[in-house]
Amino acid sequence: MPRADPTDEGRYAEGGDRPPGARPPAAAPPPHLSGVAGPGASWVRGRLPGLLGLLRDDLWTFSSDPLPPLSRPRLLRRAPHVLFCAIALVLSSGAVGELHSTYALTLPLAVPIGGAQGGAVALALWRPLPAWWLSLAALVTAAQASRVAAGGVSHPSPDPPPWPWTGSGVVACTLVLFLLALRVPTRVSAGALALTAFGTYLLQGVEGASSYSPTSVPAMVVLTVVVLIGTALRGRRVARSQLVELAGVTAEERARRTLLEERSRIARELHDVVAHHMSVISIQAQVAPHLVENPSEELRENLDGIRKNALEALTELRRVLGVLRSENPADPYGIGSGTGPAPDAPQPTLDRLDALVENTRTAGLEVQTEITGEVRRLSPGVELSAYRIVQEALSNALRHAPGSTVRVQLAYFPRGLHVRIANSAPTRTAPPSPGAGHGLLGMRERAMMLDGTLVTSATPDGGYVVACFLPGTEGLAPDDPTGTTGEEDR
């Protein structure tokens, strides 16, 4: 028996000759009878379980979310809580009277329903979602009980009572949804509003009651407006909180950047001090062989190695300085002509204190100086830091305390230097001053670099004082604990 060609099946399916006994292929059903969902229905079926699960997770929660108190005034911080609790009490009594007189409910039934409506408002202050569920349950219960009671009650008035939303029910649910929208995301408040609208539709549109005036549309309009207002207020509060947080982060970043800039300035200044010592080492290593009669070859090699290492270190320091050096070395402290020191100028020491004080007097500030103790040359780092601290303090007094009298005191102690700059109260209002406003941070960094201490505070007479102690390294043991603070050294 010959084998069938595998292409025959396709040819027969297309309407060609069929082999004997073969059944005709089944015709494809029309699209509208095929039962295959279109792309829109497939998308709904795929998304609907997730949306329902998200709605359940959003609304079916009983976590606490208390209404925050007012930030100011402090005496009225709890005023909203007291107000809403008072409204809840009045609403409960009014709901009981309305259900009993207008809808003919018995007191044993009207009291718990009215209490639930008022209690939902009070509960919304701490747990808004459970309060919303309670108000919705009270609405359904009141509507069903009123509908049952209407079976034997006639309303001769041309204006029948409202249904399914009673007056007290509208007020209660309005307040609850408002408090809910103030504290939950927009998605949650929209879901609560949608579920409330769906329950209203089931009561009036599906079940219905002929003895009452329908109130679903006006009630839902009021509830929608309230939810929109609450959502807008919450968005404004969240935006304000984010703005405050962003401002705090910005201030922190500005302070960190200022700290890094101050440390970079200190590094630039200390470079000159270190470079000077390295130059001295190089020169001494070069001259030392000529000071010894018949120096050995080992001594020459060691001194030559010292000189080469010093020169290499000096070269690297110059490279670092090229990275750290400012292109425009303007005076960062606001004292002087503003041109500042040249890049290759030596760093200042306390020998230039008189010139600094005279320059400040020329700027219009009265400055008095007092030096006590045995004046001596301190280490370059201490001299430079003391000069910069006095310079920054004078600059602050010049900017923030115009017309004041400044007293600069230097006290030399065996183990360090005590610097105190105090200014009196300003005699006129200080003009707005540009700048980062972190001069105290720079002074503190300089003191900490030398293991010193710095204290700043306002004085009772309206002035300001800056006091620091910079320990000297001369004569100190490496493990001497009293050499790092000013209290013990005094």
CB 244 within 8 A of CB 238: no
Other residues' Cβ atoms within 10 Å of the Cβ of residue 431: 8
Three-state secondary structure call for residue 471: strand
Contacts of 34 (CB under 8 A, 6+ apart): 28
Q: Looking at residue 45, what is its pLDDT?
A: 61
Q: Give the distance, in angstroms, between the CA of residue 284 and the centroid of all CA atoms in the same chain.
A: 57
| pTM summary value | 0.52
Q: Looking at residue 53, what is its pLDDT?
A: 66
490 residues of the chain, pLDDT tens digit each = 444 444 444 443 444 444 444 455 555 544 444 444 455 556 556 666 666 666 677 777 778 888 888 877 778 888 888 999 999 999 999 999 888 888 888 889 999 999 999 999 999 999 999 999 999 999 999 888 888 876 644 444 556 788 888 888 899 999 999 999 998 888 889 989 999 999 888 888 887 777 677 888 899 999 999 999 999 999 998 898 889 888 888 888 887 887 777 777 777 677 667 776 777 787 787 787 777 778 788 888 888 888 888 877 777 766 666 655 544 444 444 444 334 444 455 678 888 899 899 988 888 889 999 999 988 888 888 888 899 899 889 988 888 888 889 999 999 998 999 999 999 998 888 776 655 456 787 788 888 888 899 999 999 988 999 999 999 754 333 344 333 333 333 3
Q: Looking at residue 466, what is its pLDDT?
A: 94
Helices (H), 201-296: 216-287
Q: Looking at residue 39, what is its pLDDT?
A: 54
CB 107 within 8 A of CB 149: no
Q: Is 6 left (phi over 0), alpha (psi -120 to 50) or beta?
A: alpha
Q: Give the distance, in angstroms, between the CA of residue 25 and the centroid of all CA atoms in the same chain.
A: 71
Q: Looking at residue 52, what is its pLDDT?
A: 64
Other residues' Cβ atoms within 10 Å of the Cβ of residue 223: 22
Q: Looking at residue 32, what is its pLDDT?
A: 44
Q: Looking at residue 328, what is its pLDDT?
A: 45
Q: Looking at residue 173, what is its pLDDT?
A: 93
